[in-house]
Structure 1
Amino acid sequence: MASQYNEIRQVLAQLSGHDRIVTIPKLYIEITGDLAESILLNQIVFYSDKSKREDGYFYKKYEDWADEVCLTERQVRHAAKKLISKGLIETKVLKANGNPTVHYKLCFDKLVNWIMTNCQERNLQNVSNDSDKMSVSLTEITTENTTDDKKILSDKPDDAIPYSKIIEYLNIKANTNFKTSSQATQAKIRARWNEGHRLDDFIHVIDVKVNEWLNDSKWCKYLRPDTLFGTKFENYRNQKKVLKKDGTKGLNPEPQKQYDDGLNF
């Protein structure tokens, strides 16, 4: 049993991470059931034995993750939360170069125990004998970085995106008549959905921008999918509603980002 345990640890270390080409062992996809999670887990395994800290933690800024594996901050945060819930990693905020930075730590024993407990013997043999067949090249996954024509990794199938609910809500709130079937509109929604945004995010953006623009003759024309669900969506999502002196809801002119996804930072 001990020899098998050590063998698995060695194989995982050999499979995980690369400085130029990122591959995802199929095993990680089977463990997590999600591409973004499996990519993050893959990189955390890769860096887990390279930390100079005695406690095993290492740090990565969100822009570093984006540069290495094309995951947005939101995707990293969401994937980390899921991996924590599975007991596969731990995170904490520690200072790095004088700034509070998220640090990550792999729970290697739990990962190996999970593999030994849940994987069939045939799968373990495949890991040892043919690691190439277990990897899905990151280059085969279409990603979106700066345009809506490219996709980024998603944790939901395309048919789960509630196009109708989003557009119908916009039409009701803004008194518009956009079509759910529009390919251009769906592309905008899909791009934001693939970044990790969900229905409540779209509802929030529609609410705050309708609140801000509906009665403004100059800006009301921008209450359209092309603007609302474009590349400024994240900024709109972080606008907050506040109560004006007259008791009506308005917008916070200087919204501050809040983290409410359950991570310990």
Structure 2
Amino acid sequence: MKLLLNESPLLVLPTLAVKLGLNEAIVLQQLHFRLLQSPLKYDGFTWYHHTYTKWREQFPFWSEKTISRAFLSLERKRIIVSSQAYNAMKVNKTKWYRIDYDVLSHILERQIDLPTETVCEEQKEQFGCNEETKMADSVKKERNKEKQQKTNLEIITGIIHYLNAKAHKEFRVNNQATKRLINARLQEGYTVEDFKKVIDVKVSQWLNNKEMRSYLRPSTLFSPTNFENYLNEARDIPSPVKRTIQPIVLDYNAGEEDE
């Protein structure tokens, strides 16, 4: 007698199916699995691209129309974010997808963080509670990862805007090499204030120097060795002495002496 599960099954969480609909839950779970393996990183997010024809290879029991309805339903709920901006050619209409895990969490009211005992009992004979727990954990990790990416992008944006304003430059925030440099320094424990100190000290030294002003760039300022050296330079510069201006006190009782 052949086993029923003689190929990789499509898994679906009952919580998702109840909240979103069965078709939407299946599509969302499959997209999440694909995103975990996707190398496509743009604008701080992980993406996966597919046409409806290609999706049908993964869902052979559905028509393309059924698949498109499920995706569009999730897009309208803003759980799935789609874009065609990353296609190499404008004539290419392939959709790129990512999951907004914050929106998903809000819709599910955080019921997906841990599977309940009832869900585990119902799914135990089908694919095991441990598998469901792993899926829930992966959703949670991915959501935390996206939150961290958003935070880092805000920090990077602030640093680049500060550099552009001080050095009269127009460096792009979404430059991958620049983001890697800043993220690496942040992981080493440096703060936004440290970046500003480095920018300030080198701008004061190089901005009016024709030979050196071209080095007011992320690749020079934020490289591992240079950044530490420049930061130490900034720390060695004594802070200007603040002079307290005493207010003038007028004595209206004083007048000219009588002759």
The TM-score normalised by the length of structure 1 is: 0.36
Larger radius of gyration: 2
Higher strand share: 1
Higher helix share: 2
Structure with greater contact order relative to length (CA < 8 Å, sep ≥ 6): 1
